[in-house]
Chains A and B, each alone.
Chain A
Amino acid sequence: MKKLWLFLPFTLLSGCADNWGWYVVNPTTTSGYNNLWFLLSGLYYTVLLSFTAILISIVVGLLVALPGLSDNKFLRGFNRVYVEFVRAIPILVLILWVYYGLPQLASISIGVFWAGVIALALSDSAFEAEIFRAGIQSIDKGQYEASHSISLSYSDTMRFVILPQAIRRILPALGNQLVYMLKMSSLVSVIGMQELTRKANELVVTEYRPLEVYTILVLEYLVLILIVSAMVRWLERRMNADQRS
């Protein structure tokens, strides 16, 4: 029953046939079919970009979170400065800076894809760092004491005792960040990344049907994010299975 609601927009929209030009994406015509494929083909880079960026940002986020939990004032200071600084930069500005600015600064050339990945990962890493810090801090200090008492090293304590528990707790938050990342990846279209939004923009320029094309774009993100959310929830259930008695 629930799934029927997904078709509601179509039925409503096709009702006003006069103003709508659904032919641009009508799969029964050759050009409509090609247009539809053109739009869908952006999915590849949207997904690749977002998943690469989230993986990197999780690693960087963790590496930034750990000094934030240290007894050392300077390490904690590093964490604070990193988080506050990175969090203050709008993602779009960071994308522009990395793509146009960084090559000049470091005299290297960065492709669109990696510029996008770096900007998204960097921006997200500040949030990941905060999520990890809160997650790790939520673990009972008895867990550290038990680890110390069986003489585990700091890295083993983190790897085998603290992080596995912390990650289970922060999984919903990490899932949110992934969804956020999928949406923010649309910004990378401004530097010419051939992802969903860019493809839609290009089609609008040639077909002059913004309403239809952008509606398809909305639906593409909607479906993608529903699928990813379902995956995250599945993972959550799986990882927490042994936590319940």
Chain B
Amino acid sequence: MRLSVLKPQGKSGIFMSAEESQPTIRISQVSKYFGDFQALKNVSLDVKQGERVVICGPSGSGKSTLIRCINQLEKHEQGDISVDGIALDGSRSALNAIRQRVGMVFQQFNLFPHLSVLDNLTLGPMRARSMSRLDAEKLAMQYLERVRIPEQTDKFPRQLSGGQQQRVAIARSLCMEPKIMLFDEPTSALDPEMINEVLDVMAELASSGMTMIVVTHEMGFARRVADSMVFMDHGEIVESAPPEKFFENPDSERCQDFLEKILQH
């Protein structure tokens, strides 16, 4: 039923002010268990169209689990999640519709090692969006230029540096023309000198109006890009605030301690 509420998706999904009141991502009272262990405890989070949310928190606090629930790489047991007005109701069609709208970038890149850079990018558009090879390749080139590696099309992932691989992975997601991008510690597996080339691409993406949820400990990037900051600990959202307040005087002690630790160096 709720599918019918959708309006046709714009070419790149930017600047749809009409929808600003209604959150694009709505997570309410979500709980997730791994066996007896509760990884998410009644987590609620709304993300508006075009909003950039940065999530941080100690390792094991449930950051990955939370964003992976959005495209159901993890299945939550309790609570509701809806994206773009489509509720995850366990049906295949809702899941597909949501996955079409949500791109994800992983810590370990997860490029397809047996495919060239170009084939990594065209596979999704050709198989999941029924595009012709020609159109898919045009689209791929467009996004490779956007992530600033148009000259590596025929190389295989292993022949690229980590920073280049992650940018290819971002381009691969963008080729699906998602409305929302999820980033799970996209720079944590990179050598320090490659972190900025990836963050720059992400910042550029943010400035184009993409809705983004980014799990990262790069606080410089967060200050620059985030509309709101979220701090998680032990499966809960402990603090959620705009960056000014978040960095200057967070309410919770746990958040203060955490920020002190990671901002020290």
Contacts and interface: CB of A to CB of B under 8 A. Distances in A.
Contacts of A201: none
Given A142-B110, A243-B114, A245-B156, A150 B124 contact: yes
B104 A242 contact: no
B73 A149 contact: yes
B159 A150 contact: no
* Chain A interface, >50% SS class: helix
A143 interface: yes
Contacts of B158: 243-245
A64 B142 CA distance: 42
Interface string A132-167: 000000001011011011111100100011001100
Contacts of B72: 148
A168 to B, nearest CB: 7
A245 B157 CA distance: 9
Nearest to B104: A149
B173 interface: yes
A160 B114 CA distance: 10
26 contacts: A142-B110, A145-B106, A146-B106, A148-B73, A148-B99, A149-B103, A149-B104, A149-B173, A150-B99, A150-B103, A150-B128, A150-B173, A151-B96, A151-B99, A151-B100, A151-B128, A152-B124, A160-B123, A160-B127, A165-B113, A165-B114, A168-B114, A242-B114, A245-B156, A245-B158, A245-B159
Interface of A: 140, 142-143, 145-146, 148-153, 156, 160-161, 164-165, 168, 242-245
Given A140-B110, A146-B169, A243-B114, 16 more contacts: A142-B108, A142-B110, A143-B112, A146-B104, A146-B106, A146-B172, A148-B71, A150-B99, A150-B103, A150-B173, A151-B99, A151-B100, A152-B124, A152-B128, A156-B128, A164-B114
